Structures are given as C-alpha cells and as structure tokens.
Amino acid sequence: MCIHQRIGTTKSQPDEDRRMNAVEVHELYKEFHLRKGGLFSRRTRSVAAVNRLSFAVSEGQAVAFIGPNGAGKSTTIKMLSGIIRPSAGEARVLGMVPWKERSQLVRHIGTVFGQKSQLWLHLPPQDTFDLLAQVYELAKFDYLRQRDLLVERFGLASFMDTPVRKLSLGQRMRAEIAASLLHRPRLVFLDEPTIGLDVVARQELRDLIREWNREEGLTVFLTSHDTGDIESVAERVIVINHGRVVLDGDVAAVRQEVSDSRVVEVKFDHPFEWTDLPGVRVLSSSTYVLRLEVDRNVTGVETFIQKLLSAGSVADVSIEAPPLEEIIAHLYNKKESDPFAPTLKRR
Amino acid sequence: MKACKKFAAIAAISARSNLAYVSEALGRTLFLAVILYIFLRLWQATFAEMGATRLGGLTLAEMLWYLTITEAIMLSAPRLAQQVDEDVRTGALAVKLTRPISYPLYCLSASLGERFVRFAVNLAVGAAITTLFVGPPPSNAVSLVAFAVTLPLAFVLDATGNILIGIGAFWLEDTSGLTLIYSRLTMILGGMLIPIDLFPAWLKALVAWLPFSGIVYGPAHLFVHVESGDFVLTIVKQAAGTAVLGLVVWLVYARALDRISAHGG
Amino acid sequence: MFRKLLKYLRLARAYVSLNWRIHWQYKAAFCSQALAMALNDLAWVSFWALFFTAFPVVKGWTAKEVVTLWALAAAGFGLAHAICGNALLLPQIVTRGQIDVWMLYPRAVLPHLLLGKMSATACGDAIFGYAVYIFFVRPDAPHLLLFALLTIAIAILFVGFSVLAGSLAFYVGNSETLSEQWFFSMITFSTYPNSLFDGWIKIVLFTLIPAGFVSALPVEALRNLSLTDALLTFAGALAVLSVGSAAFYIGLSRYESGNLIEMRG
C-alpha cells in the first residue's frame, strides 16, 4: 500500500484517490470476557460488543455514528483509532490498519471527546497549540499558517490568551476542535462535541464542523445523542445497536422516521380508560398519566384527538419528537420484519 | 448518658463500615514488614556497637515492640483533618449542622470507630511480624492495662488536634501543609522512631511541654515497660492536652459557626 | 537513535516549561507544597544525622554520609518526578482508561505520558537535595559534578522503578495498593545505609527493590570519587528503566487487547 501518495490529499488529487475510502470496516468483531461474581468466581461471560460490523465511508463524507449506550460505538471507535485490537474482522482507516499502524495513522486523524479535553486547563489555548506543534513535529511555517487559519475561522482570536478554565463551554469546544485540526488531519472522530452547550454555541459549532467538512474535504465521523447535530452536520447516518449496523442511509431517511411519529404525554384529571388504536403505541401508563407514541402515517390526527378526549378528562397535553434512543430502539425492532433493511449507500 | 450512647452508636457504625479497610490494611503488611525489618537490623547494629543490653531502659526486643505499637498508632490515623477541611469547603459542614449533635463531637466519635479498627489490624499484622523477629511481647498484665487505658485517650487527643486543623479551613486557603506538619511533628516529637528517653536533653525538655508524646510515646512505652509514675504522667499529659486543644477547638468552632451564619454556609 | 533522544529531549523541554508555567500560576500552593516537602526531608535528615552521630552504627559513617545519602535520594527522586510527574500516577491512568489519549499522539506512549505532569512536592525534594548537599557537605567542583551526574542516574532509576511498579495495573486488578507498597519499600530502603543488610536481603536490594543503587553505590562513588561505582550506578539505573519500560509496553499490549475491562467490570 502506497501510503505516501495519500498524505497531503487536497482537492486537486486525481479522481482515483478521491474514490478511496477513508474508513473501511469488514466483519469487525470484538468480544469481551466479563468476569461474573466476586473475587473467587471463575465464571466468565462473553459479550460481543461489536458483532460483525461492516461499512465504508468515503473521503470527505460526514457520517453520524449513533446508537444507544452500550451499542458498541466507543468500542468501534477505539478499534478504528487503533487503541484496541478486534477479536476478528478487518478495518482500514485512510488505508492503514489502525491497530498495526497506529503511530502512523494518528498523524492523519484527529479526535475530540466531549468529556475529555486535550486543552490544558490552566493555560491559554495558545500554549496548547504550541505544544501540539511540538508533539506533531509540525514545520513552523505550516503550523503558524494553519493556526492563524483556525483562529480566524473558529473565531478564537478574542480568547487565545485566556486560560481555558475561564472560557465558556462554547469557546472551549471551538478551541478544542480547532486544536484537533492543527496537524491537518484528513479524518476526525468527534465524540459528543456539543454536549452541554447552549443552543447558540451548539449551532455555531455545527456550522464550523460542516464548513470544514464541505470546504476542506475533512471526513467527519460524529457520535452524538443530539438529533440536531446529526441533521446539521451529517449527510449519512449509521445506526448501531448490539454491535450491529441497524440502519445505514441518508440522514433524510432517519428524518422521515422522526417526522412521522410523535410522543404525546397526557395528564388526566381522573383515572382514564384507553383502548388500543392502530398506529398508536403505549409507552407508559399510570393512574393519571399516559405516554403514547403516535405514527401519523397510520392514525389521522383527528381520530387520535377524538379518541384521547373520550378516554377521560384531559388536564394537560405535551407533544414532542421521540428521543433518539426510542427511534433507534424502534428501528431495531422494525428491522426484523421490515424490508427496510440496512443498506449501504455510497455517495 | 444519652449523649454518650449516641456517640457510642456513631463510633460503632463507623467501625463496622471500616471493616472494608481490613483488606486495604492487610495490604499494609509489606510496608510494616519493611519498616520493622529495617529497624530490627538498625537496632541490632546499634546495640552491638554500643555493647549494651539496654538503651534508654529498653532491651532490643522491647525496642522493637515499642516501634510496633507506635507504627500501629501512626498508621491507624484516619484522614480526619482532611475530612473536616473538605466538609468546610464543600459546605457539607453546614448540612451536618442540622444533625442533633455538635459537629466536632460527631467527627470525634466517627473517627474513633475507624481508628480502633485500623489500629487492631495494624497491631495484628505488626505483632505477628515482630514476634517472628524477637519473640512475644514483653508486657505483663499491669502494662497491658496501662496501655489499654492510655490508648483511647491518645486517639482522642490526636483527633482533637486534627479537628482543630480541619476547622482552619474556614480561614486558610489550604490546610494540607498544616496537616503534613502536624503529622510530622507527631511522628518526630511524639517519639515514633525512637523513645523519647533517647532524645538529647534539650529536646526532651521541649517535648515535655508538647502534646505529641501523649499520642505516640505514652501508650507505646507503657506497653513494653510500665512504671506507675509514667502511667500517671501520661494520663495527665493526655488529659491536659485534650483539654487545652479541646478548648481551642470550642472557641474556634464558635467563631466558625458565626461565619457560617454570616455568610450563609 | 541519538536523533530520537534529542527529539524527546526537546519534547521534554516543552512539557517541563508548560508544567512549570502552570505551577507558577498558583505560586502559593506550589511553594507551600514544595516547601513542606523540603522541610519534611530536612526533619528526617536532621533526625538521622543526630542518630548516627549519637550511635556510630555504621563503620565510617558520619553525619556527612547520612546527609549525602539523603541528598542523593531526594534529588534523584525529585528530578525524576518533577520531569516525569505522571510516573507516580500511572496506576490511576491505566485503570481509569486515561491512557487512551496518549495513544492517539504520534509519539512513543511511555515517555510522552510520563512528561504530562510535574509534581510540586518532587520539586521540593530536588531543591532540598541539592541545597543540603551544597550547604552542609560543601563539596568541591569534582564532587559537585559527580553528585549532579549521580542524581541524574538515580532519577533514571526512579523513573524506571515508578513505571515498573505502576505497570502492575496492566496485569493485576486493584493493584494500586500493591504498587504503593512496593514503591514505599523502595523509597524507604533508599534512605538507610546499605551495610545494615546482608545475605539474601542484599540481593533483593539490587534486584526486586533496587534501593541499593541509591543507598550503596552512589555514596561510595562520592566518598572515593570512584568512577567504577558511578558507572555501576548508571548501569543499574538503565537496567531498571529497561525492565520498567518492557513491563509497560507488554502491559500496553494487553491493554490493546481490550480485556482489561474484565478487571474494571
């Protein structure tokens, strides 16, 4: 594999390289052996955290990699970044086998973990940037040029000299992502980058990520529980659950799922009686409160409301789009009977 | 009497929850083995060099048993000053004030429970090792009684000192320096490594006025070699030390409470 | 090979400067921690200097040798953990999965990770070591130079040993206590004259607990300005570093198999 040809890929590369995949995963499998019981127990339970995962991401794509907690997301990312080895299967990132060529690979990938920071807390971002230049052994001129570009595009100028602990979370995350791009990686793994951010900061960050993806051709591999992140940044979404791909398609496809169903929570004055209605699923029910998931394609709005009013004396109603976890769980349950099976769509 | 029962109950709960420390403390075995071994060799060489059977009134075996007790005492110290400091800084103190007991007394009883358990474990481990090295303890019934009486008093004295430092958190940015100094002073001036009898005269005089020997030297020396004069002196020193420090704690604590009500905790 | 060393020295310089800057931002805390440690060391060395003067236990050892030993140990330990502060935190770093972030940089994991922190108390140790040697022993130029070189060797030794003890976390669950014990044994034995021990313990002190390379060889090297002893010290230091690094990287390979989760889970 001629790795050297791919280093420094810019938009002027020949088409052949363009069609190279940034990430290729084939039948990736990872098993953990969990020891059950106390200190002296010999019982082990094998858990397949990643269970024959296969997908490919081409360079320049922005992919949202989502799934409920425990679905195998972080295990997959650890394997793709070379931190752990799989039990079976293959993967290549930027043409390299991550767990075999990690020290080479990390020169060309960036990582941002929302929970952990690589910025030094008590020093200004400037200092972390300078340190990273040393760590990555960047040529001075290249470093300064890239740094200035990032400062400008990410709007960091006003706080480059302020200690990181004094920055707002939004400022910190912008600096964090900028730091991960300092060495001009071709692919970034972003894990919950917008967690804890307010609405404005969140949108700013999404815009920046999308901009970098569209204009610089940066391949983005995003993990998030926030549907907004997925819709703003990604073109494609891969849903993973129980270590398997559940859905792999355009964001639009998932959006359709979201826009079709609603979660309705109803509070009654007195105990109520609810009878089944097609297209309506009871999520939870107590003496006074009823939570339902309504598929608007199946049940008309009018029918539903009539049914609701006849169930009892309604005190309060709230309507929301279902949380991502529920969509995924729903999708996963649909998978068994649905022809809408996982498909690989290449852009 | 009701108050006493309350405090006893707290001490008991604390003791029970600290049995988990048993495994941690057993891990201390290596540490104690190292210290006791080094000092065995050190004292053997010293006794040989001085051509003496007794130094500071103690034989080699008594010297090592002395060290066993002092180590058990020092190692059993719970992180009381740090706990109080933390309570002050996190505001947990204000929460604990709502309990029907005075906070310092609560700390005292809780820490005693923990300390006794840790001491017991340290003593068991240390005693096993020392018996291996120099044989069984040189104590008789009288010395054991003297030891049993002065040990809890030593713990109370030490706890009082720790609480005082911890409450300093109301005014000081960082009490960890004070805590370290206090523990070092207790070690050195308390006679952890060598009995106070072997200190140079000037130091012996200084130490007589300080409470530290009441925490470490007192009970340990009585364990290996009892004299009624010593026994009385130790108790007096422990009582006096506790009284003085206790008074300071009471005064400082009152100021601290004022501070809480002024600043809203 | 040499170019690689230079690269990492440059990296070390960047990290030391950054770490120092952080500590200097919080001057008060840094100074109090460093000072507390220096005073602590001073208390110990004074105690032992007095002891060995009162009881000339070791042939040819005066207060000067005691001070030299402490100066070497403290300065070496201090240098080691001022620069490679994360060496002391290695068990935590491994068990809490914090090692991942270091694996994602294009640098050898171990040296890079070690540089990540600077220990304030270690700075106190280093300052104490040099200060007490210069002011108490009053060395001439050749002795001072040899001292400096030996402290570097001892620093290498301590880094290697810290890494070795810390790497236990890769192999044994809940190893923090065990690592700590091992570590304490090393530090403790390093400050007592090696001639106190003989037989199989002496072998242990040059292998499993390589304190002999601190308490025996360097002191002799300085006493006699012996190049042989100095070179042996370096050899021992490099050997320990190699074993430590090997233990780390083999452990890292185990970590990469992902099955450390069984210990955490």
Q: Which chains touch C (3 or more CB pairs under 8 A)?
A: A, B
pLDDT at position A16 is: 46
Q: Are B78 and B161 in contact (CB under 8 A)?
A: no
DSSP A22: E
Q: CA of B146 to nearest chain C CA: how many angstroms apart?
A: 29
3-state SS record for chain C = CHHHHHHHHHHHHHHHHHHHHHHHHCHHHHHHHHHHHHHHHHHHHHHHHHHHHHCCCCCCCCHHHHHHHHHHHHHHHHHHHHHCHHHCCHHHHHHCCCCHHHHCCCCCHHHHHHHCCCCHHHHHHHHHHHHHHHHHHCCCHHHHHHHHHHHHHHHHHHHHHHHHHHCHHHHCCCCHHHHHHHHHHHHHHHCCCHHHCCCHHHHHCCCCCCCHHHHCHHHHHHHHCCHHHHHHHHHHHHHHHHHHHHHHHHHHHHHHCCCCHHHHC
- Tell me: pLDDT of A260 over 60: yes
Task: Read off the pLDDT of each residue in C92-103 and give the average, rounded to a whole number.
Answer: 91
Q: Is the pLDDT of residue C262 over 50?
A: no
Q: Does the structure show a pLDDT above 60 at B20? A: no
C197 and chain B in contact, CB less than 8 A: yes
**Residue B24 in this model has a pLDDT that exceeds 90:** no
Please tell me the distance from the alpha carbon of residue A17 to that of residue B79, in angstroms, as a whole number. Answer: 62
A85: nearest CB among C101, C256, C261: C256
Whether residue C181 lies within 8 A of chain B, CB to CB, comes out as: yes
Residues found in chain C: 265
For the segment C163-188, the average pLDDT, to the nearest whole number, is: 88
Q: Which of B46, B55, B133 to mutate to test the interface with C (most CBs of C within 10 A)?
A: B46
User: Tokens 């540089």 identify what position?
Assistant: C115
Give the residue, A95 or B26, on which the prediction is more confident.
A95
Please state which of the ranges A292-296, B10-14, C53-57 shows the lowest mean pLDDT: B10-14
Question: Residue A100: CB partners within 8 Å, gap ≥ 6?
Answer: A82
Residues of A with CB under 8 A from a CB of C: 30, 32-35, 44, 75, 78, 81-85, 99, 102-104, 106-107, 109, 111, 113, 116, 118, 120, 122-123, 127, 130-131, 134-137, 163
Which of C3, C24, C26, C261 to probe the A interface (max A CBs under 10 A)? C261
Percent of chain C past pLDDT 90, that is, above it, reads 78
Of C55, C58, C181, the CB nearest to B27: C181
User: What number is the ipTM of this complex?
Assistant: 0.89
Quick: pLDDT tens for C68-86. Answer: 999 999 999 999 999 999 9
On the question of pLDDT at A336 being above 70, the answer is: no
- Return the pLDDT at A254: 66
In contact, C106 and C45? CB cutoff 8 Å: no
Least confident range from A83-97, B22-36, B67-81, C123-137: namely B22-36
pLDDT of residue A33: 83
Looking at chain C, which residue has its C-alpha nearest residue B173?
C29
Reading across the β-sheet that carries A62-66, which strands appear in turn? A109-113, A187-191, A219-223, A62-66, A236-241, A244-250
pLDDT above 70 covers a percentage of chain A that reads 82
A68: its two tokens: 């409920």
Q: How far apart are CA B231 and CA A339, in angstroms?
A: 89
pLDDT of residue A329: 61
> Distance from B2 to chain C by nearest Cα, in Å?
40
CA distance B230 to B227: 5
* Cross-chain residue pair A84–C107, CB shorter than 8 Å: no
CB B70 within 8 A of CB B217: yes
Which residues have CB under 8 Å from B121's CB, separation 6+?
B21, B22, B25, B26, B28
A42: chain C residues, CB-CB within 8 Å? none
CB contact under 8 A, C55 and B34: no
Alpha carbon distance A146, A149 (integer Å): 5
What is the predicted pLDDT for the residue at C23?
Answer: 95
* DSSP structural state of residue B153: H
Per-residue pLDDT band at B65 (split at 50, 70, 90): very high
What is the SS3 assignment for A320?
strand
Query: Closest Cα partner for C248 from C167, C171, C157, C158?
Result: C167
Q: What is the mean pLDDT of chain C?
A: 92
Is C259 in Cβ contact with A106 (below 8 Å)? no
- In chain B, whose CA is at the least distance from the CA of C186? B34
Residue A335 has pLDDT above 50, yes or no: no
By C-alpha distance, the chain B residue nearest C191 is B38
Q: Which residue of C has its CA nearest to B34?
A: C185
Q: Burial letters for A24-36: b for 16+ Cβ neighbours within 10 Å, e otherwise?
A: bbeebbbbbeebe
**Candidate from C23-27, C151-155, C203-207, C255-259 with smallest mean pLDDT:** C255-259
Query: What confidence score (pLDDT) does residue A327 get?
Result: 65
| Chain A residues touching C11 at Cβ < 8 A | 134-135
Q: Letter for the amino acid at C113? A: L
Top-ranked range on mean pLDDT: pick from A111-120, B28-37, C229-238: C229-238
Q: How confident is the model at residue B68 (pLDDT cuts 50, 70, 90)?
A: very high
d(CA A64, CA C104): 21
Go through C130-152 and write b for each residue having 16 or more CB atoms within 10 A of its CB, e for each that does not: bbbbeebbebeeebbebbeebbb
In Å, how far is C8's CA from the nearest CA of chain A? 9
**Dihedral in degrees, nearest 10, Cα atoms B47, B51, B53, B54:** -70
What's the pLDDT score for residue B6? 79
What is the structure's pLDDT at A341? 39
Greater model confidence, C176 or B113 = B113
B63 touches chain C (CB under 8 A): no
Weakest-pLDDT range from A320-324, C43-47, C136-140: A320-324
Q: Which of A156-165, A332-341, C173-182 has the highest mean pLDDT?
A: A156-165
Identify the residue with better confidence: B260 or B84: B84
Distance (Å, rounded) from C-alpha C58 to C-alpha C81? 30
Confidence of residue B176 (pLDDT cuts 50, 70, 90): confident
First to last CA, chain C: 41
Rounded to the nearest integer, the mean pLDDT of chain A is 83
Distance CA A240, CA A70 (A): 10
pLDDT at B7 over 50: yes
Question: Where does the pLDDT of residue A324 fall: very low under 50, low under 70, confident under 90, or very high at 90 and above?
Answer: low
Cβ–Cβ pairs < 8 A, chains A and C: 75
Q: What is the pLDDT of residues A6-48, one digit of tens each?
A: 223 333 444 444 457 899 999 999 998 876 655 555 677 888 8
Q: Are A299 and A273 in contact (CB under 8 A)?
A: no
- pLDDT classification of A300: cutoffs 50, 70, 90: confident
**A190-228 pLDDT tens trace:** 998 988 899 899 999 999 999 999 999 999 999 987 778
A345's tokens = 């769509």
Residues of C in contact with B122 (CB under 8 A): none
With beta carbons less than 8 A apart as the criterion, state whether A118 and A180 touch: yes
d(CA A17, CA C120): 51
The answer to whether residue B35 neighbours chain C at the CB level (below 8 Å) is yes
pLDDT of residue B167: 87
Alpha-carbon gap, residue C94 to C98, rounded angstroms: 6
Q: Any chain B CB within 8 A of the CB of C179?
A: no
- The answer for C 83-112 residues in CB contact with B (under 8 A) is none
Q: Are strands A187-191 and A44-58 parallel, antiparallel or unpaired?
A: unpaired
Question: Of A205-214, B99-108, B156-165, which gets the smallest average pLDDT?
Answer: B99-108
Distance CA C236, CA C211 (A): 10
Per residue, the 3-state secondary structure of B83-112, as one string, reads HHHHHHHHCHHHHHCCCCCCHHHHHHHHHH
Q: Which of B42, B180, B200 is the closest to C36 by Cβ?
A: B180
CA angle B54, B59, B61 (to 5 degrees): 160
Which is higher by pLDDT, C244 or A335? C244
C50 Cα to chain A: minimum distance (Å): 43
In the structure, what pLDDT confidence band is assigned to residue B123 with cuts at 50, 70 and 90?
very high
pLDDT at site A308: 87
pLDDT of residue B18: 58
Asked if C185 and B184 come within 8 Å (Cβ–Cβ), the reply is: no
Q: In a mutagenesis test of the A interface, which of C4, C10, C11, C18 is the best target, namely the one with the most A β-carbons within 10 Å?
A: C18
Cβ contact B28–C40 (<8 Å): no
The pLDDT of residue C102 is: 95
pLDDT of residue A325: 58
- Minimal-distance CA residue of chain C relative to B185: C43
Cα separation, A62 vs A209, in Å, equals 9
Contact B42 C196 (CB under 8 A): yes
* CB-based contacts of C105, cutoff 8 Å, min separation 6: A106, A135, A136, C112
A75 vs C contacts (CB less than 8 Å): 258
Mean pLDDT in chain B? 86
Task: Answer whether C190 touches B (CB < 8 Å).
Answer: no
Average pLDDT over residues C145-170: 96
Q: How many whole angstroms separate alpha carbon B33 and alpha carbon A243?
A: 50
Of A103, A116, A123, the CB nearest to C18: A123
Q: What is the pLDDT of residue B17?
A: 62
Residue B19: the pLDDT is 54
What average pLDDT does this structure show over A257-264? Answer: 72
Question: Do the chains contact at C32 and B46, CB–CB below 8 Å?
Answer: no
